[in-house]
């Protein structure tokens, strides 16, 4: 046994670090929301893409930091999240071990490992109400005596027991329980026998639903209904925000201001072009003018943000209710055909909102092969909400005739490219071994907080790139650079893709930001065939700068170089094929 | 009769009697509380060689077929 050091720490020193540690799905995030104030920071653990959330807690007038450590079943580093958890443990002062009271035995496995590290600790028996509902009673006093650390009962969702938990932090101490590592489970079994009593109850509605949703036949049907309803809901909420909030704001309040500024600047000149852009029929057009204050604000804030908000709200509810792991089980067999397993559905779904959180979620995957395949498919075949919103805007007039070729091509590409990558990328795809948490009604506090964190991330990372992109395009235009590149790349654009040379500007901007790039196609007045080709190529050829940086961090330079080569080759060959095919069909 | 979790019929209860796998599988299974002597009930197998779902201690666990094949069980009835 190694002594990992248990220096006596008291609450008298300021800036204590309180770590929330526990198995996945034990309500740590809800507890985190309850313990901390409004101000939270999401950071990446140094050298990884594993992120953690940090907030502040006032302990008797002394500010402390609370860290929501990624959920882990064990302190033996089996995955990146576990490596991070072990690393953080060394830097923490107090551990709050969040235990799911409905599943004491498995949760005590981590508790015992934490006790062995001799960290000052408190155990929170969370989901206490649910345990009672299931006929489970736990003798808290006896458990406390066995472990030698304070044990409190909590229900983070309703907030019950949170005062007790705060007070117990004063008494956090290293445990007294000692055991032989080889007999860990025996010790756990003994403790559970001693402190827990289970009275048999009939399955609850939630449990019945839980079984039905992974039923081999009912499950997939249910999944189709859930997914269809989710996307309809995203569309409804997104459109609603645009129609009743974003558009009125921009048209009634912002437009007069921008018009006045335009007049004051003399309706032309370099500064006018940078800030306001080109006037369309003598006035500012938010979709086509292309200035930093016109299109540069309108596209991300009024066209994309409402859908990003709606998407992450709905996805957050799906995540927090516990449906996503079930979806992972249902799609596992399909995912295996492309060298992934079921849980990779999570980064793919997140990527539909924004590629950046999609890349962050790649940490769920264990091997290099899986991460490479998932990252490449994510970058090429999964359009983000910024692209989806803009493509819908461009092709909306054509209806299904416009959408089906674009999204059908991307989906086919996902299948074909995935099958090839599975074959040719070296390495293994491990099978999943997954705990499926019971269905739970999401706690609004943590769902909204997650939504907020994702929105802030999107705005901070996204809006900067939009403004830089718009300014860069205008500057490049004014010095004639885009025309020059357009002339140089013109033959490629016209011959291979059937696009006008000016479309090269959109491809360049697409390196910075996808929505702005798709927006640049609007003033070109392209035909249906050209719009389809341009949309597919823009989606597939490269992710935006923010996503590129994240991918580079996740994959490393060598794999990123390979992935980039695949992206370029795939995008231009598929674009060329589509052009050829549609021309052949007489479009 | 000893069989494995892949072959065990849906709805049947069984006890884990051994693992036919390496250190990696044992570590993962152990972390989840899946070990020799545990009683579980097989809930379903997904179509097209999809994962196997079991109930253990009132909780659902899903695992790929390859893993299910390596978990040796003895049917309880």
Give the domain CATH number at A86: 3.40.50.300
CA-based nearest residue in chain A for residue B67:
A431
Q: Which residue of A has its CA nearest to B58?
A: A103
B36 touches chain A (CB under 8 A): no
Contact across the interface for A216 and B44, Cβ inside 8 Å = yes
Kindly state the helix (H) or strand (E) to which residue A210 belongs, with its residue range.
Answer: helix A205-212
Asked if A433 and B67 come within 8 Å (Cβ–Cβ), the reply is yes
Q: Which residues of A touch B51 (CB under 8 A)?
A: 329, 332-333, 342, 431-432, 434
Domain end point (choices A182, A201, A220): A201
Q: Which domain holds residue A463?
A: 313-584
Give, for all 587 residues of chain A, the pLDDT tens digit: 333 333 333 333 457 899 999 998 898 888 998 888 766 666 656 555 566 788 888 877 778 889 999 888 998 877 777 788 888 888 889 999 999 999 999 999 999 999 999 989 999 999 999 899 889 999 999 999 999 999 999 998 888 999 999 999 999 999 999 899 889 999 999 999 999 998 887 777 878 888 888 888 899 999 999 999 998 999 899 999 999 999 999 999 999 999 999 999 988 888 898 888 888 888 898 877 888 898 888 888 888 889 889 988 998 898 888 898 899 999 998 899 899 988 898 899 989 888 888 887 887 788 889 999 999 999 999 998 888 888 888 888 898 888 999 999 999 999 999 999 999 998 888 888 888 888 888 888 888 888 888 888 778 766 777 777 778 777 877 787 877 887 888 888 888 888 888 888 788 778 777 777 888 888 888 889 999 999 999 899 888 877 887 888 888 899 999 999 999 999 999 999 999 999 888 76
Interface size A-B, in CB pairs within 8 Å, comes to 103
CA of B1, closest CA in chain A: separation in Å? 25
Residue A98 lies in a domain: yes
Q: Whole-angstrom Cα distance, residue A573 to residue A568?
A: 8
Residue A10 DSSP SS3 = coil
Q: Give the per-residue pLDDT at A46.
A: 58
Of B31, B30, B5, nearest to B16 by C-alpha is B5
Give pLDDT tens digits for B40-58.
Answer: 999 988 888 889 999 998 8
- Write the residue in B33, B53, B66 that is nearest to A214 by C-beta: B53
Residue A459 sits at the vertex; the CA angle it makes with A457 and A465, to the nearest 5 degrees, is 105
Task: Judge if A197 and A317 occupy the same domain.
Answer: no
DSSP H or E segment with residue A506: helix A503-510
B49 near A CB under 8 A: yes
The answer to whether A308 and A458 have CB atoms below 8 angstroms apart is yes
Q: Are A545 and A465 in contact (CB under 8 A)?
A: yes
- Chain A residues whose C-beta is within 8 A of a chain B C-beta are 73-74, 76, 78, 102-103, 105-106, 109, 134, 185, 210-211, 214-217, 219, 325, 328-330, 332-333, 336, 341-342, 430-436, 438
β-strands A121-126, A94-100 pairing: parallel
Q: Which of A431, A437, A438, A439 to mutate to test the interface with B (most CBs of B within 10 A)?
A: A431
Is A339 within the bounds of a domain? yes
pTM: 0.82
**B18 vs B4: CA distance, rounded Å:** 9
Residue A557: exposure state from Cβ atoms within 10 A (0-12, 13-18, ≥19): exposed
Nearest CB neighbour to A76, from listed B27, B50, B66: B27
Report the half-sphere exposure of A430 (CA within 13 A, side-chain side).
17
Count of domains for chain A: 2
| Interchain CB contact of B29 with A (< 8 Å) | yes
What gap in Å lies between CA A206 and CA A226, rounded to an integer?
16
Whole-complex ipTM: 0.91
Residue A314's pLDDT is: 92
Q: Please give, rounded to a whole number of angstroms, the shortest distance from the CA of A321 to a CA of chain B.
A: 15
Which of A185, A201, A217 is the last residue before a domain boundary?
A201
Helix (H, G, I), strand (E, B) or coil at B53: strand
Residue with tokens 């500024």: A261
Q: Is B11 on the interface with A (CB under 8 A)?
A: no
| Residue B39 contacts A where some CB pair is shorter than 8 Å | no
Q: Which residue has the tokens 């970058």?
A: A379
Answer whether CATH 2.30.30.90 is correct for domain B2-75. Answer: yes
From chain B, the residues in CB contact with A434 under 8 A are 51, 61-63
Using the structure block, give the residue that is written with the tokens 């794999």: A559
* CB-CB neighbors (< 8 A) of A432 in chain B: 51, 62-64, 67
Strands B52-56 and A136-138, sheet pairing: unpaired
* Interchain CB contact of B20 with A (< 8 Å): no
The phi and psi torsions of A481 (rounded to 5 degrees) equal -70, -40
Which of A79, A324, A435 to mutate to test binding with chain B, by most B CBs within 10 Å of its CB? A435
pLDDT higher than 60, residue B18: yes
Q: Which residues, including other chains, have CB under 8 Å from residue A488's CB and lie 6 or more apart?
A: none
User: Are A194 and A331 found together in one domain?
Assistant: no
Give the residue from B27, B60, B63 with the most A CB atoms within 10 Å of its CB, the best one to mutate: B60
Chain A residue with the nearest C-alpha to that of B47: A216
Using DSSP, state whether B17 is helix, strand or coil.
Answer: strand
Q: How far apart are CA A510 and CA A547, in angstroms?
A: 12
User: Does residue B57 belong to the interface with chain A, where contact is any CB pair within 8 Å?
Assistant: yes
Any CB–CB contact under 8 A between B26 and chain A?
no
- A7 is a domain residue: no
Residue A212, in any domain of the structure: no
Residue A196's DSSP bridge partners are A138
Map A269-307 to HEC letters: CHHHHHHCECCECCECCCCCCECCCCHHHHHHHHHHHHH
Q: In 3D, which of B40, B51, B49, B45 has the Cα closest to residue B12?
A: B40
The residue among A183, A201, A219 that closes a domain is A201
Position A518 in a domain = yes
Residue A3: predicted pLDDT? 34
Q: Which residues of chain A have a CB within 8 Å of the CB of B64?
A: 332, 336, 341, 431-433
The verdict on a CB contact (< 8 Å) between A329 and B49 is no
Q: Which two tokens stand for residue B10?
A: 């849906």
Compute the nearest-CA separation of A403 from chain B (Å). 30
pLDDT at A4: 38
């Amino acid at each position: 046994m190694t002594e990992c050091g248990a220096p006596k720490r008291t609450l008298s020193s300021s800036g204590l670090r309180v770590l929330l540690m526990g198995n996945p799905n034990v309500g740590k995030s809800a507890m985190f929301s309850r313990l901390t104030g409004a101000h939270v920071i999401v950071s990446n653990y140094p050298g990884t893409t594993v992120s953690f959330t940090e907030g502040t807690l006032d302990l008797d007038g002394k500010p402390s930091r609370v860290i929501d450590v990624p959920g882990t079943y064990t302190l033996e580093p089996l995955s990146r999240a576990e490596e991070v958890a072990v690393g953080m443990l060394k830097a923490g002062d107090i551990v709050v071990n969040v235990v799911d009271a409905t599943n004491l035995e498995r949760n005590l496995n981590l508790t015992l490992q934490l006790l062995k590290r001799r960290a000052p600790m408190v155990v929170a028996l969370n989901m206490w109400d649910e345990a009672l509902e299931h006929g489970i009673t736990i003798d808290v006093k006896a458990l406390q005596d066995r472990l030698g650390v304070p044990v409190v009962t909590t229900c983070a969702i309703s907030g019950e027991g949170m005062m007790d938990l705060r007070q117990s932090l004063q008494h956090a101490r290293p445990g007294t329980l000692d055991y032989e590592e080889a007999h860990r489970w025996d010790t756990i079994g003994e403790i559970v026998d001693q402190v827990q009593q289970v009275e048999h109850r009939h399955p609850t509605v939630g449990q019945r639903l839980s079984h039905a949703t992974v039923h081999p036949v009912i499950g997939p049907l249910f999944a189709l209904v859930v997914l269809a309803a989710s996307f309809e809901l995203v569309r409804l909420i997104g459109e609603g925000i645009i129609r009743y909030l974003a558009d009125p704001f921009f048209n009634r309040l912002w437009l007069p201001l921008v018009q006045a500024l335009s007049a004051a600047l003399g309706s032309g000149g370099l500064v006018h072009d940078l800030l306001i852009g080109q006037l369309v029929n003598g006035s500012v057009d938010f979709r086509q003018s292309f200035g930093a204050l016109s299109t540069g604000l309108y596209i991300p804030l009024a066209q994309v943000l409402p859908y990003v908000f709606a998407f992450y709200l709905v996805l957050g509810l799906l995540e927090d209710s516990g449906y996503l792991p079930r979806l992972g089980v249902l799609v596992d067999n399909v995912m295996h055909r492309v060298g992934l397993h079921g849980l990779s559905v999570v980064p793919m779904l997140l990527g539909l909102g924004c590629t950046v959180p999609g890349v962050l979620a790649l940490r769920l995957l264990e091997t290099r092969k899986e991460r490479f395949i998932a990252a490449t498919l994510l970058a090429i075949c999964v359009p983000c909400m910024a692209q989806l919103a803009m493509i819908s805007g461009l092709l909306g007039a054509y209806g299904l005739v416009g959408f089906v070729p674009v999204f059908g091509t991307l989906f086919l590409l996902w299948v074909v490219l995935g099958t090839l990558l599975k074959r040719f990328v070296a390495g293994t795809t491990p099978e999943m071994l997954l705990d499926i948490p019971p269905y739970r009604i999401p706690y609004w506090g943590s769902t909204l907080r997650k939504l907020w964190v994702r929105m802030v991330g999107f705005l901070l990372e996204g809006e900067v790139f939009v403004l830089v992109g718009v300014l860069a395009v205008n500057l490049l235009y004014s010095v004639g650079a885009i025309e020059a590149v357009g002339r140089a790349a013109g033959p490629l654009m016209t011959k291979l893709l059937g696009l006008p040379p000016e479309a090269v500007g959109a491809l360049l901007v697409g390196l910075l930001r996808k929505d702005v790039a798709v927006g640049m196609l609007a003033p070109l007045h392209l035909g249906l065939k050209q719009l389809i080709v341009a949309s597919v190529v823009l989606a597939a050829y490269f992710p935006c700068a923010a996503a590129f940086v994240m991918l580079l961090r996740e994959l490393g330079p060598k794999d990123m170089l390979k992935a980039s080569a695949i992206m370029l080759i795939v995008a231009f060959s598929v674009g060329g094929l589509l052009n050829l095919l549609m021309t052949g069909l007489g479009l | 009769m000893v069989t494995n979790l892949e072959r065990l019929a849906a709805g049947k209860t069984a006890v884990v009697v051994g693992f036919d796998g390496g250190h990696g599988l044992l570590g993962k299974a152990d972390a989840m509380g899946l070990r020799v002597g545990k009683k579980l009930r097989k809930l379903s197998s997904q179509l097209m060689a999809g994962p196997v779902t079991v109930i253990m201690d009132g909780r659902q666990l899903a695992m790929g077929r390859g893993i299910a094949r390596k978990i040796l069980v003895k049917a309880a009835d």
